[in-house]
Structure 1
Amino acid sequence: MAISNGHPTNDSQDEIKVISSPLALPNGVVIPNRLVKAAMAEGIGLGGGTPREGHLNLYRRWAEGGWGIIISGNVQIDPRQLASPHDLTLPSHPSTLQAYTQLASSVHSASSSPLLLMQISHPGLQSSSTINLSRWPWESAIAPCEDRPTVSEGPVGWLWSHVMWPTKSCRIVNINGWMEIVNKFVDAAVLAERSGWDGVQLHSAHGYLLAEYLSPLTNPDPKPLPDVPGSIPLRLHLLYLILKGIHDNTEKRFIKAVKVNCSDFVQGGLDEEQANDIIKTLVSWSLLDIIEISGGTYSSPAFASPESLRTSSRQSLFAHFTTSLLPSLPPPPTGPAIILTGGLHDRQVIASSLNERACDLVGIGRPACLFPQLPNEIILNSKLGDGEARVGGYPIPGSDLMKIILGGSDPKEGIKLVGAGISTLWHEWQMCRIGRGTEPDINMHWLSGALIEEVWFEVLKGGPMGWWRYWRG
């Protein structure tokens, strides 16, 4: 929330000028300012499928808010392999194109003209059959290995893992299986372009399938894939084929972006030195316009744990990585723009990060669920001093109680995913409120959100009147 303890100054105006400055990408597209609404699962609708009315309402609010880029939540390339029961999917039906075209139009009709990127994803072994109900419980997720996420040590963690993932993942062993994944990602990008979206972001972080392919922990023995130059490391074969396929099948001005981990934060996984080499190699291909830096997996969800961000002088868990990396990369438009997301919720800190080139673009996620017009009303609002031009630090009523109930309170054997999930769901419910035309509620108790937003409106469709509207379409 904005904190009123300052007045506009000359420094404030300089900071606003930096943040509102446009940025040209390698493909020639110009981003109107440096603020990016980062990807978040919107929590609207159950069982996959195409955008609903709630998505249109939510994205209109963001589009009117002054963002330079809006990145969608997960759009899964395989409707049977979901990361959450609310994920959007790309079913093979004529209405699919129309639904995504309508969502793009709702964003592009805004006067601020933000760019719109579709985050295309595959959750890999982290896809839960019991939570998502997109396949039978005994049907496995698919991945480069046979495994299941380990959410914590101890009996509670063992129980959680086996309830959410009753079977270990099924390893993709043949080349045709991987080429099918490549084709699905490329097809998703082509559909996004035909629907009027400005680009796609490949989700290759957070322990998802593309990240699993990069990690020595989940892909210890990668095999070569066809039609990849011999100079490219084996772990990068899958990303290369997808990016090359998108490049060859879309226009130059269609933005190609990727989200990658700077670290998996788990022993044996991708570390910062390996991530550094991967990013430099990705840049050398000249196939990318934007790279977003993130980190963590379901086992160690740094990307979804705001409390871990307080340790950084720049308020971002990943700034130390980008500060050392970016001097070795060509700045845009010669090279791809770098997005840094996580904890950058203060005008002064955002401007400082841009001036020092800890990043080229700043991603803001969860505060955008409470303040959809955050850029115009807070960060870029010249009437607010620096002390007022910041958000974040708000508590979630009832979250501590839920951590105890769900086994996430113990610092040693507690389930880290529980704490992250409690925050994620609460913010999803705020987006659901916006989607049905109700303002967000920063004072909403977690249990109230679970009962009203999740059970009543999402599962029960709002009762008889909601059923009637749903049946009428």
Structure 2
Amino acid sequence: MAHSLTPTADALAVDALHQPFTLPNGAVLPNRLAKAALSESLARRDHTPGTRIKTLYRRWSGNGAGLVVTGNVMVDRRAIGEPGNVVVEDDRAFDDLVEWADIIKSDGAVAWAQINHPGRQAPRTLTPRPVAPSPIALDGSAGMFAQPRELTHDEIEDIIRRFATTAGILVRAGFDGVQIHGAHGYLVSQFLSPLANQRTDHWGGTPEKRRRFVIEVARAIRAEIGPDATLAIKLNSADFQRGGFSEDESIEVVHALAAEGIDLLEISGGTYSSAAMLGVDPSLKESTRQREAYFLDYAQRVRAELPTLPLMLTGGFRTAEAMNDAVTSGAIDIVGLGRPLTVEPDVPGQLLDGTATGSAVRPRRSGIRVVDSLTELTAYTVQMWRMAEGKAPAPRRHPAFNVAAYLVRNGRDSVRVGRRGL
């Protein structure tokens, strides 16, 4: 169902959300609502995009979101983050990529592909010998992740080239831009973390050297896609671990990326070990949950220091009022919605035309951290799978059925947090 991008009398209360937004590269987003990246796990067995992922995005097409960001597209088929990841290393599935981009853009939305490398954060059943900045295992993995091997300098340079190659293929296929996944504990995030990156060479040892990897990735992508395509990044405000990537260091990284000419920063937070982005982590204050925007304080700090850098905030938004207020205040430019679109796929348009005042989706918390993370992860993934099969979401289905369906399809080693949108 298509939704008009023009405000009606009933939608005046969210007038800010209707406004188009022009990025530094000249690209125009039709409005201020975005479908944030969600890891769909819907690729074919050979990791090419097929009918199911296209069906899912056809369901979202015309839902009112001005920007649509795909889930993880991996840059190396030897490094798979979760079952069903799309991998783009070459042109072997170019026609599928063209069709995927066309579906997203068919009703006027802007299409970005999120590109990623999991590093150490990959199930051992998919990536038996993962690589990482340093040979440090992931905390709390319960044996699901193998001990990583430290990357050599040449391997790091190769991964940087792979990011650029993947970005170039996607843009040539019709995507309007790419988003580097620099959050949630994946490889870019690992290089930035003083806990995961304990190198003493050109790629670690100081904050400046730890951020060299993401800077080189951004430079290589920009050289490949040119000035007209959009280059965005999703970055943690912090990883919420003692001694880890801090908010102060994150701000320094943002300054460096802004100097490289990125077109938009999407703000998130947390890792597999501390899943603040899911809204179930005990470190997240209840007042922050009630305010909806989990990382708004950080966004306001970035805005104060870099007033011209476009900002997208994902995490916790549920009511039209809170979304509109965040944009009206000037703290952010774009509101990212993830989990609500797996249960209420038309909610962006409904918020814009006034037929809905918010999303009913809320984190399900039992107080048991592992249980909460598991049910949050599987519930929304299974809803995407239903839509990929042409079915309607089933939000009232008991969480146990979702967990069972997920485990049957993907196996226990695929069950982990830190990789879903909000």
Q: TM-score, normalised by structure 2?
A: 0.88
**Aligned pair 1:347/2:320, yes or no?**
yes
One of 149, 158, 168 as aligned partner of 1:170: 149
C-alpha distance in 1, partners of 2:363/2:248? 35
Q: In the alignment, is the contact (CA less than 8 A) between 1:432 and 1:453 conserved in 2?
A: no
Equivalent in the alignment of 1:206: 184
Alignment gaps of 5+ in structure 1: 1-7, 152-160, 226-231, 401-408, 460-473
C-alpha distance in 2, partners of 1:309/1:437? 38
Equivalent in the alignment of 2:232: 257
Letter matched to residue 292 of structure 1: E
Aligned length: 400
Equivalent in the alignment of 1:51: 49
Q: CA deviation at 1:434?
A: 0.7
Q: In the alignment, is the contact (CA less than 8 A) between 2:279 and 2:363 conserved in 1?
A: no
Equivalent in the alignment of 2:132: 143
Equivalent in the alignment of 1:430: 383
Q: In the alignment, is the contact (CA less than 8 A) between 2:280 and 2:363 conserved in 1?
A: no
C-alpha distance in 2, partners of 1:60/1:451? 27
One of 205, 222, 241 as aligned partner of 2:216: 241
SS in 2 for 1:233: helix
Equivalent in the alignment of 2:96: 99
Q: In the alignment, is the contact (CA less than 8 A) between 1:33 and 1:67 conserved in 2?
A: yes
Q: Please tell me the root mean square deviation across aligned C-alpha atoms, in Å.
A: 2.5
C-alpha distance in 2, partners of 1:117/1:141? 27
Q: CA deviation at 1:440?
A: 0.3
C-alpha distance in 1, partners of 2:244/2:360? 30
One of 54, 69, 72 as aligned partner of 1:71: 69
Q: CA offsets, 1:393-434, max 9 Å, x none?
A: 4576xx85xxxxxxxx65xxx54xx53232121101101111
Q: In the alignment, is the contact (CA less than 8 A) between 1:309 and 1:315 conserved in 2?
A: no
C-alpha distance in 2, partners of 1:9/1:194? 37
**Aligned pair 1:117/2:112, yes or no?**
yes
SS in 1 for 2:233: strand
**Aligned pair 1:316/2:293, yes or no?**
yes
Q: In the alignment, is the contact (CA less than 8 A) between 1:19 and 1:351 conserved in 2?
A: yes
C-alpha distance in 2, partners of 1:455/1:278? 40
Equivalent in the alignment of 2:359: 391
Distance verdict in 2 for CA 1:294–1:143, change over 3 Å = same
Alignment gaps of 5+ in structure 2: 1-6, 412-422
Letter matched to residue 327 of structure 1: A
Letter matched to residue 311 of structure 1: S
**Aligned pair 1:42/2:40, yes or no?**
yes
One of 21, 24, 42 as aligned partner of 1:23: 21
SS in 1 for 2:386: helix
Letter matched to residue 32 of structure 1: P
Q: CA deviation at 1:448?
A: 2.4
Letter matched to residue 127 of structure 1: A
Letter matched to residue 381 of structure 1: D
Letter matched to residue 432 of structure 1: W
Distance verdict in 2 for CA 1:168–1:452, change over 3 Å = closer
Q: In the alignment, is the contact (CA less than 8 A) between 1:41 and 1:73 conserved in 2?
A: yes
Q: CA offsets, 1:437-460, max 9 Å, x none?
A: 10001111123234457637x89x
**Aligned pair 1:443/2:396, yes or no?**
yes
One of 307, 332, 338 as aligned partner of 1:365: 338
Letter matched to residue 215 of structure 1: S
Q: In the alignment, is the contact (CA less than 8 A) between 1:57 and 1:436 conserved in 2?
A: yes
Q: CA offsets, 1:270-313, max 9 Å, x none?
A: 11111112112211222x00101111111111112357474315
Q: TM-score, normalised by structure 1?
A: 0.79
Q: CA offsets, 1:97-144, max 9 Å, x none?
A: 11111101112222xx111111100111111113xxx34xxx321101
Q: In the alignment, is the contact (CA less than 8 A) between 1:305 and 1:419 conserved in 2?
A: no
C-alpha distance in 2, partners of 1:44/1:357? 37
